[in-house]
Amino acid sequence: MTTAIRNLTFTYPNQEHPVLADLSATFPDGSFNLLTGPSGGGKSTLLKLIAGLLPLPTGSQIILAGQALQELPATQRASQVAMLFQEPSTQFTMDTVLDELRFALENQQISAAEMPAKIAAALDFVGITSLKNRHLTHLSGGEQQKVALAVIVAMDSKVILLDEPFASIDPAARLDLLQNLVQLSQAHGKTIILADHDLSLYERWIDHLSVLEAGHLTTLSPEATQQRLAIFSAPQRQLTHVTLPDRQLPVILQGQDLGLRQGTRQLINPQDLSLFAHQITLITGPNGSGKSTLLRALVRLTDYQGTLTYDGINIQKRRRKAYARQVALMFQSASAQFLNVTVAEEIALSHKYGRQTYFTPERVDQLLAQLNLTQQRDQIIYTLSGGQQKKVQLLCMLMMAPQVLLLDEPLKGLDYDSIQAVLSILKTVQHDLQLTLIMISHQLSGLDGFVTLHLQLADCQLRYQEADQ
């Protein structure tokens, strides 16, 4: 028995070209398949079609572990196929971990008497028994993804689909999840299809690498697979060019006894922290350790302990409107940053209030071309793919050219070519306008030589790091 796709052609309404064109593929039972390809290439669409979340076009066929998707009653679908989504927080209906697991089992008509054992086994398999009674909204992204996997384990689905599940997850949580997935495929015979742009750390795990490009899916030969994976291999992910900050460096943001809490949990112990002007600082650290919270504190979106000064003046004493133009945050979720409907309108808004002398219409056109967005100019932002939205967001924030630009996962969901384009644009603009960039990124490929300072958050403490040997 296998999972197979036959002659799948899919076109979104109001679009001329099909995202998937006469696509056929086979995934053996118990195999671990990795799906890659450029952003906007249709990976999410393909997974949604397999999961039955999008209606299957006539003439196309999807076989799930030997059974045709069309003939499968809706009530039995979840036991055949389940999906883990890119955005950790939006895949739950209920309030607590236990209630969400119960909800899924209720849907499968498992009797109340059988539930506790199944729930305990699923939580134990993923190693999150301690989270059982926690509120889902209080969990970090990595923990939420583990809960989502536990739900799938409890439902015992035969085909498990994952749409960029590690996009905002630290290496440790990702390793845990990968080990679980391998165990599910090898010991339990589950078919796993995982879509990801970032191919690092997959070498040891996957059976097949398939590339989805221009609507077609190609499964690579072992040599081609290794070549592709080598681009993301370990040596290139080390930071060999960063230095410890020089005492001469001008400080732009200074924290005194700066501490961060989330509920009752201390994320960062009170410490003095200097952030330096005209540098590109990379902040790394485990998922859920407080990196995003730190950036939100710097733009006054969350409370903190101690004081924070910008250019010597307490940021709480600065006028909100003026400060927002000096220190701005590029949010992790791209759509949070948009105020209009089309790409052109967003760019016009940034042009109106941003650095017009530098970002001339010609330069903006050139940047759009560099980001491969020229065709999308009049498109509605919310119909763009995640990666395309991220690129528009970056351009809009760069055009504002604040003194300090904070970037929360600016490379999330971008393919290799887009990452190169984004980094080169960031470097040029940072250099020309002498901006201060402070970025969080789990994705380290291509960042060596780009960032100048490396701030690591570990054990509730932020420390500048020396170069890797």
Chain contacts with other proteins (rule: CB under 8 A)? 48, 51-53, 74-75, 77-79, 82-83, 85, 87, 90-95, 99-100, 102-112, 115, 137, 151, 155, 299-301, 320-321, 324-325, 328-329, 331, 335-337, 339, 349-350, 352-354, 382, 396-397, 400, 402
Q: Which residues contact 352 (CB under 8 A, 6 or more apart)?
A: none
As measured in angstroms, the least distance from the Cβ of 420 to other proteins is 26
User: Are residues 5 and 164 in contact, defined by beta-carbon separation less than 8 angstroms?
Assistant: no
As measured in angstroms, the least distance from the Cβ of 290 to other proteins is 17
Q: Which residues contact 46 (CB under 8 A, 6 or more apart)?
A: 5, 8, 20, 23, 35, 195, 212, 217
CB closer to other proteins out of 244 and 353 = 353
- Phi, then psi, of 282 in degrees rounded to 5: -105, 130
Place of tokens 């460096």: 249
CB closer to other proteins out of 209 and 330 = 330
Euclidean distance between CA atoms 209 and 36, whole angstroms: 7
CB closer to other proteins out of 19 and 148 = 148
As measured in angstroms, the least distance from the Cβ of 132 to other proteins is 13
Q: Which residues contact 201 (CB under 8 A, 6 or more apart)?
A: 171, 174, 175, 178, 232, 234
Euclidean distance between CA atoms 420 and 451, whole angstroms: 14
As measured in angstroms, the least distance from the Cβ of 190 to other proteins is 15
CB closer to other proteins out of 80 and 284 = 80
CB closer to other proteins out of 65 and 239 = 65
Residues 341, 333, 20, 417: is their CA dihedral positive or negative? positive
User: Are residues 97 and 120 in contact, defined by beta-carbon separation less than 8 angstroms?
Assistant: no
* Joined tokens for residue 136: 């889902």
As measured in angstroms, the least distance from the Cβ of 28 to other proteins is 23
As measured in angstroms, the least distance from the Cβ of 461 to other proteins is 27
As measured in angstroms, the least distance from the Cβ of 114 to other proteins is 9
As measured in angstroms, the least distance from the Cβ of 464 to other proteins is 27
CB closer to other proteins out of 204 and 321 = 321
Three-state SS at 173: helix
As measured in angstroms, the least distance from the Cβ of 441 to other proteins is 20
What is the DSSP annotation of 388-450? HHHHHHHHHHHHH--SEEEEESTTTT--HHHHHHHHHHHHHHHHHHT-EEEEE-S--TT-TTT
As measured in angstroms, the least distance from the Cβ of 138 to other proteins is 11
User: Are residues 355 and 328 in contact, defined by beta-carbon separation less than 8 angstroms?
Assistant: no
What is the DSSP annotation of 272-318? EEEEETT-EEEEE--TTSSHHHHHHHHTTSS--EEEEEETTEEGGGS
CB closer to other proteins out of 138 and 228 = 138
CB closer to other proteins out of 80 and 200 = 80
CB closer to other proteins out of 402 and 410 = 402
Distance set, CA 240 to CA 279, 449, 451, 469 (Å):
16, 7, 10, 7
* Joined tokens for residue 280: 């590109």
CB closer to other proteins out of 115 and 460 = 115
Euclidean distance between CA atoms 182 and 180, whole angstroms: 6
* Joined tokens for residue 215: 């609507």
